[in-house]
């Protein structure tokens, strides 16, 4: 996993609960990294240990932490780390979401061993958007939070319903996004 995700976990915990809680999360996860280099590769297991430790320390479920991380990441970590990508990704939530493949391609172009997710989109006649999320990591709750964060970024309320989930046996996750 790229360090930008681990940096996002750190940013979320420190922003919401403080650096003392972040120190507890790191200790519980067995993380000895002094900082996360955003384009550096880190073991996926470390990322999941950080998420699990954050859930334990905060008394919350793993999925809740992942959704919060996605929402927070878009507004804070991602926008700060990738301002040029965010500025060209789109001028509204639908356009931004439909450009996710391009955003990931640009963000990982010069990154060795990058394994970004892949997305497919279906525009529904009633205005809903189906997003098919293909990833070997199956971080569906994180993706749900990212979609919600895009709505927040553009100050547009939206709902996200998971209609298929790789963690529950589907070949990939499918999110149904309704723009309110």
Give mean pLDDT in consecutive 10-residue pieces for the chain, a chain of 180 residues: 91 95 97 89 93 96 96 91 83 94 77 79 96 90 95 95 92 95
Say how many C-beta atoms besides its own lie within 10 A of residue 14's C-beta.
15
Other C-beta atoms within 10 Å of 23: how many?
A: 13
Q: Are 173 and 165 in contact (CB under 8 A)?
A: yes
Range 90-179: architecture per CATH: Alpha-Beta Complex (3.90)
Q: What is the DSSP letter of 119?
A: E
Question: Model's pTM, two decimal places?
Answer: 0.91
| Domain definitions of the chain by residue range | 3-60, 90-179
- Whole-number pLDDT of residue 112: 66
Helix axes 62-73, 3-17, angle to 10 degrees: 100
């Amino acid at each position: 996993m790229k360090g930008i995700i681990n940096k996002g976990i750190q940013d979320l915990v420190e922003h919401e609960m403080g650096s003392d809680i972040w120190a507890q999360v790191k200790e519980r996860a067995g993380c000895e990294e002094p900082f996360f280099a955003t384009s550096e590769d880190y073991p996926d297991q470390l990322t999941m240990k950080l998420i699990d430790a954050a859930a334990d320390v905060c008394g919350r479920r793993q999925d809740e932490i992942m959704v919060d991380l996605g929402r927070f990441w878009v507004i804070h970590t991602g926008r700060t780390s990738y301002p040029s990508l965010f500025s060209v990704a789109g001028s509204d939530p639908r356009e931004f979401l439909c450009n996710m493949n391009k955003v990931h391609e640009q963000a990982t172009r010069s990154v060795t061993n990058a394994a970004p997710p892949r997305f497919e989109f279906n525009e529904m006649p009633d205005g809903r958007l189906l997003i098919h999320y293909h990833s070997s990591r199956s971080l569906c709750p994180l993706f749900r939070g990212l979609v919600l964060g895009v709505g927040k970024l553009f100050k547009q309320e939206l709902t996200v319903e998971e209609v298929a989930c790789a963690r529950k046996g589907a070949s990939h996750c499918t999110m149904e996004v309704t723009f309110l």
